[in-house]
Structure 1
Amino acid sequence: MEDKINNALREIQRGTSEIIGIDYIKDLVSNYFKLGKRFIIKAGFDPTAPDLHLGHSVLLQKLATLQKFGGDIKFLIGDFTATIGDPSGKSETRKVLSREEVLKNAKTYEEQVFKILSKEHTEVCFNSKWLSALGSEGMLQLTGKFSVARMLERDDFSKRYKENQPISIVEFMYPLLQGYDSVSLNCDIECGGNDQKFNLLVGRSMQRAYGLNKEQSVLMMPLLEGLDGVNKMSKSLGNYIGITDNPNDMYAKILSISDSMMWRYYELLSSISLDELDKLKHDVENNNVHPKSAKENLALEIVERYHSKESAKSAKENFDLVFSKDCVPKDLNEFSAESNIWICKLLVDSKMSDSSSQARRDINAGALRIDGVKILDENLKLKSGIYVIQIGKRKFLRAIIK
């Protein structure tokens, strides 16, 4: 029994940046194995964007691990707090979303998270249920549980205050409301990114202030580096792998990460056990397994998780065909346009590039090929015909110019 508990704790601590209250977590896991008693875990998501990427899935993977060892997940969608905005280390107030935007984004979150989490032990919650019910009297009582001096201990608030940048009173409310979520859900563990440490700790303070006979443990996960291997995975930086990316793109992007970064992705994203991971590392170091083979297995695992086993197999075959044999994929998306279309407009309209400026950068960097020929003329206009357009190693399109 003790071995099972210790192995569970190893997996729970895997890849974490910090855990506060590990002894309490050990007690919870022990009670699950010995008594079958489950415990409550909270993770909050403000639905400020419609799609999740693999950086978000780091936390989801940890929640899935906790589910295996007795955790009932309260997947908290902050429909109330998203209308306030939390800078989370940014230097200015986050744009406030409309109610319609929040609910639309929340719906896509629900559809995506169950590719990782078990529905049986997950409840999707909306914090408007209890925060809207607080009313003005309840809100005032909540503000009395915390001091301004404590609030200014938060790094980004402190920095903005010293630099005379505005901080609205409503932003001070955000950590308090997140802490009150922990009170309402009576949670035992709260999970979040290591950039959320202050807010997560407020939950412990709120549980004490409201007289709960518990103090939640806090489990923090690191921010996953993106495809550049340096900056955190972010859509704004273009270094992300989206959960809704098509299988071919997802597979190819994972294969593009460095050999050293591969282990980081394995630790934070893979479902293989720590013992299996240690063996794989040993085999690679001793040349028993090629790093590319290990990376392929990681890519197959992740594509299968978000799509299917058949899609993963097809993505590998397509990747091998394109990159190993320098061939064009079998099935190309097609895009039709009128004769004399400017190449940058074609790339933007067909969604090969996000903007004209990005298209120009791709062309000037030598990333554009038409029918296998490198194109460096950003002013090129295509006449009627059928062309195979390629940007970099992963993006292909059949352009039908009328």
Structure 2
Amino acid sequence: MTRRFVILVCCALLLAGACKGSEGEEAGAQGSTLQFGAALSLTGQLSREGILTKDGYEYCKQVVNEEGGVEVGDKTYDLDITYQDDKSTPDVAAQLVDQMNDDNVKFILGPYGSSSTEAASAVVERNGQLMISSAGADDTIYEKGYQNTFGVLSPASEYLATIVKAVSDIAQPKPKTVAILSADDGFSKTAAEGGAAQAEEEGMEVVATEFFAEGSTDVSAQLTKVKPLNPDLILGSVHLEEGVAIIKQSEELGINPAGGFGETVAPPTPDFIETLGPAAEYTLGSSQWTPETEGEDELFGTAEDYAEGFEAAFGDTPEYHNAEATAACLAMILAIEDAGSLEPEAVRESLANLDTESFFGPIKFDENGKNIYKPMQVIQIQDGKPVTVWPSAEGELKWPAPPFDER
């Protein structure tokens, strides 16, 4: 037997052993650790929301591990989460989720934002991974026939519609005319359409719908068109920076609708209040969650319990980006434990049948993976903080809104 033949045989045996070891490793697990993955906007336009999302995932990991880990059949795993920065870019989010699959990370916690979530959904479907979205609300994500993407949050079509429902229910006098300003990304357009449809259903006239480029910080051209129409309420279908721009430039242009402003995403975010100061007062915002949300679960308790625990861990009062992220992580864990398996197909089946109450409200998915069973909350900025005013109320709606120079 030649020396060269011996070397070849040894190499073949080593390769066979390596392959056998790879096949024996359970999906999503590395030894005694269960690995989740998340591509998040840690830099770029959506970095503030992305960091809030990461904190929500981290709090879930902390509590799960403090409570003994994740039970899968007769095994118990510590939870770990791998984060990668998608730079607020959907294509990068998709690439990162694909790389996670190469590293045997099968359980994905969603990116921040609908555009990145939609891009990642296609990758997850192709790879046989499983993703729970915490911040991809655009209804169109769940209308593509994907089987492996679920979303714990109420859909985009409810964001502005919820504000319209609230003012129709509790505002006196009820607004008669509404103008809508919207970014041109998928989430914002869907939310704007939902708000317009709800306004018409409530008997309000939509006097204008103006669009601007996603990420714009100058919306003065759109506001100038709206100003002479003198709407009772101006609604913004926006993210944080865009929402700040609408309020700031409305003040500069002397636009003072009697009912003030209502916006998606931005108002519950601490940066909105810090940036605008008194100009933020009276602004309405739709929120996926507040500490007044009804519901309870064994891991996090009530919404109030969650708020207290999160603040103790991070030093900040949680807002809905934190809570929805934790809820996505919770849903994945509940499904894994119910399945008693780390095989994505078995976990997907458990997710499809999940029906539970939680600190975040009900978590239950329709046939498309949307959580259509959870109501949204409406907050109003009062005395420098968001106050829940509808449907469960921490305080009363302040209406109508005084002009900016009287705040």
TM-score of the pair, normalised by structure 1: 0.30
Name the structure with the higher strand share: 2
Q: Which of the pair has the greater relative contact order for Cα pairs under 8 Å at 6+ separation?
A: 2
